[in-house]
Amino acid sequence: MKILAIDSSGLTASAAVATEEAVLAEYTTNYKKTHSQTLLPMIDEIIRMTETDLATIDAIAVSAGPGSFTGLRIGAATAKGLGQALKKPLIAVPTTEMLAWNLCGTGGVICPLMDARRSQVYTGLYRWNRESAAMDCLTAQCAVPVEEVIAGVNRRGEPVTYLGDGVDAYREVLEKMTAVPFFLAPLHLGKQRAASLAACAFGYAAKGGLQTAAEFVPVYLRKSQAEREREEKSRKLRRMSAEDVAEVAALEAENFSRPWSAAAFEGLLSDENYIVLVLREAEMLAGYCVLLCAGEEADITNVCTAAPVRGQGVATALLTALMKEGSARAVKQYFLEVRQGNQAARALYKKLGFQETGIRKDYYEEPRENAVLMKRME
């Protein structure tokens, strides 16, 4: 089987021609030009240099995402155009799995990191399976704050190797927060390579992972910046009303091992000491937060964001508005507790001016975990 592999999911652009026995050619650039300028000339060059007749290509492998919105669209358009013109099937490979294939044969956990901007990375966790000569997926690819990735790696307690352009963006955080033995992929294996894409694609093809050019759709994981900006304009942040209670209680139950009941939230509506804010995005409850005021002091008791919109500024918007409400009541000190292992939340609170003041042993149950005490002074 002969594959033409195309990747433009990140800053690098890469193309390769490979058979199951050898990589015939690979062309990778990591320079200033856009993929729309480089990708087709690169493909033309490797085809010319290897004297490959495109009619002899059996399939076109393409990185399916996640990645740069513009890059993925250029890669998808190129692969779909070639597939339709040549009447060849496509093999769609998850980008993070393709990156993990750079380190096939290594031990421990493999953690690709792609800079997704907005303080997030695209990632997944993998391990090389020597018996099947394939990459086992430990955690499906997702878009999350880098602190959350590190927390997950630390919980596994195994050595890990990081790779991808997210390493460049978050190297200091990785070095500071990773508590297990960790390694960084060497220079020549740190970014996307079409040869790795081809190697991974042969496995997908063997399992019947072929599709027509018309069927292929990139996997973005997140909405585009334009879509996010439109949704942010449509966000409605306000006090909780009786109509919100059932949804708030349901979201609470989904995310906490000892959730407050709907009756408890309903009781807060008439309690002047509590401020409960909700943020709605279109028809969806995006998140909520609760403040208990006592003179010049206040406790932030509940903060929750719906899974589909995590990392999109919902918690920041809620907490900023909540403390503005507190200031209107002359609150001078804010307190909260957070699970010690919730690195993403701790990083967010620090960004909002909170300082860690102590540890409360075994405060949380199911699972049992210490609480980190945090405080902010106005």
Contacts of 136 (CB under 8 A, 6+ apart): 126, 127, 128, 129
How far is residue 94's CA from residue 140's CA, in Å, rounded to a whole number? Answer: 10
How far is residue 42's CA from residue 13's CA, in Å, rounded to a whole number? Answer: 9
How far is the CA of 130 from the CAs of 104, 108, 136, in angstroms? 9, 12, 10
Give catalytic status of residue 325 as yes or no: no
Cβ atoms of 8 and 63 within 8 Å: the answer is yes
Q: Work out the number of other CB atoms within 10 angstroms of the CB of residue 6.
A: 29
For residue 159, say if its preceding peptide bond is cis, omega within 30 degrees of 0. no
How far is residue 62's CA from residue 94's CA, in Å, rounded to a whole number? Answer: 9
Structural Rg of the chain based on CA atoms: 24
Give catalytic status of residue 349 as yes or no: yes
Amino acid letter for position 274: Y
- The residue from 148, 349, 365, 366 that is catalytic is 349
- The residue from 204, 337, 364, 369 that is catalytic is 337
Q: How many CA atoms lie within 13 A of 100 on its CB side?
A: 31
> Among all residues, which ones are annotated catalytic?
337, 349
